[in-house]
């Protein structure tokens, strides 16, 4: 009886090797963590490579080699084109978002774009609970919903659909960021969740009651406030999580690094596993913050400012 062998595809293994190389380059500091948002724009290459893999028979070693070379050529050509092609599919136009605080004495803000580069900071000189701009191109329809539950202002900002515009032009992460300012007048329960992208959160000047950030693939940078105290959760699947601690602030960070590395302010690095970092001044500091961080693959960096 003739034994049949399953012919596995080549695209999956090539992608896994590529992801591993990007993670290695990221850990070595050769590339920025926001490279994941740039790579997402290259998704049509996966469709092309899969078609080649299905089209060319691999009954022999030569057929397998030819298929592999063509798949690698497709990815290499796409990356080369992304670096030399002028122009961009982005319109550069933005829509404004502004939700008044009213008489609320606290706020719960939930921001959940499927794919985005997101920048958050404290509002100055505004009586809004959240105020900012979102790019029109590439993110589908952005929706904001604002209600008031007792004395709490509840705001939800999201988008329908995902990033589907296959842009092959040079990518600058700050060209199409969601930029929001958050109220500094009342305590804020901040919740951020996104699938792929970059999240930069500067909590300076904010009064937080809670913090919850979830990232699928990408980079999260959190600058902690110099005053106040709260407990927060940050999680990611693939990428990098960086926490910047102001001088004088005491922090205790519990880290679950499944296949990630942990780098502390002393420069000491730890491998995968469960770790805890407690700053030397935690027990005596006036302002103390506790974080729980879970990162599957990538790196967790705690840095003193």
- pLDDT averaged per 10 residues, the chain (length 305): 52 71 65 59 66 64 68 62 42 80 96 86 93 74 89 91 42 66 96 88 95 90 93 90 94 91 88 91 94 91 92
Beta bridge partners of 193: 214
pLDDT at residue 29 in the model: 60
The answer for 18, left when phi > 0, alpha when psi is -120 to 50, beta otherwise, is alpha
Taking the CA atoms of 208, 112, 176 and 127 in sequence, report the sign of the dihedral they define: negative
Per-residue CA distances from 45 to 49, 75, 77 (Å): 6, 6, 9
pLDDT at residue 138 in the model: 56
In the three-class reduction of DSSP (H, G, I as helix; E, B as strand; rest coil), residue 137 is classed as: coil
pLDDT at residue 44 in the model: 63
In the numeric block, the tokens 């919903």 are attached to: 145
């Amino acid at each position: 009886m003739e034994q049949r062998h399953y012919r596995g595809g080549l695209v999956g293994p090539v992608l896994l090797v590529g992801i591993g190389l990007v993670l290695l380059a990221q850990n070595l500091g050769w590339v920025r963590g926001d490279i994941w948002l740039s790579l997402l724009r290259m998704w049509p290459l996966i469709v092309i490579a899969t078609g080649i893999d299905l089209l060319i028979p691999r009954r022999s070693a030569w057929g397998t080699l030819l298929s592999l070379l063509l798949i690698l050529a497709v990815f290499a050509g796409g990356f080369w084109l992304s670096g030399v092609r002028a122009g961009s599919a982005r319109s550069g136009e933005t829509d404004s978002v502004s939700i008044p605080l009213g008489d609320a004495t606290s706020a719960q803000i939930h921001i959940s774009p499927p794919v985005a580069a997101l920048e958050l900071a404290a509002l100055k000189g505004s009586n809004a609970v959240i105020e900012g701009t979102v790019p029109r191109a590439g993110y589908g329809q952005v929706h904001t919903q604002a209600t008031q539950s007792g004395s709490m202002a509840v705001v939800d900002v999201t988008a329908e659909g995902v990033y589907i515009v296959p842009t092959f032009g040079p990518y600058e992460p700050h060209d199409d960021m969601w930029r929001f300012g958050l109220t500094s007048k009342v305590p804020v329960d901040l919740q951020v969740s996104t699938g792929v992208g970059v999240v930069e959160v500067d909590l300076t000047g904010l009064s937080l009651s809670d913090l919850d950030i979830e990232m699928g693939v990408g980079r999260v940078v959190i600058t902690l406030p110099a005053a106040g105290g709260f407990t927060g959760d940050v999680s990611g699947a693939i990428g990098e999580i960086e926490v910047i601690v102001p001088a004088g602030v005491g922090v205790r960070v519990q880290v679950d690094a499944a296949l990630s590395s942990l780098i502390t302010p002393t420069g000491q690095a730890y491998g995968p596993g469960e770790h805890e970092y407690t700053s030397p001044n935690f027990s005596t500091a006036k302002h103390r913050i506790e974080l729980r961080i879970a990162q599957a693959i990538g790196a967790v960096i705690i840095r003193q400012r």
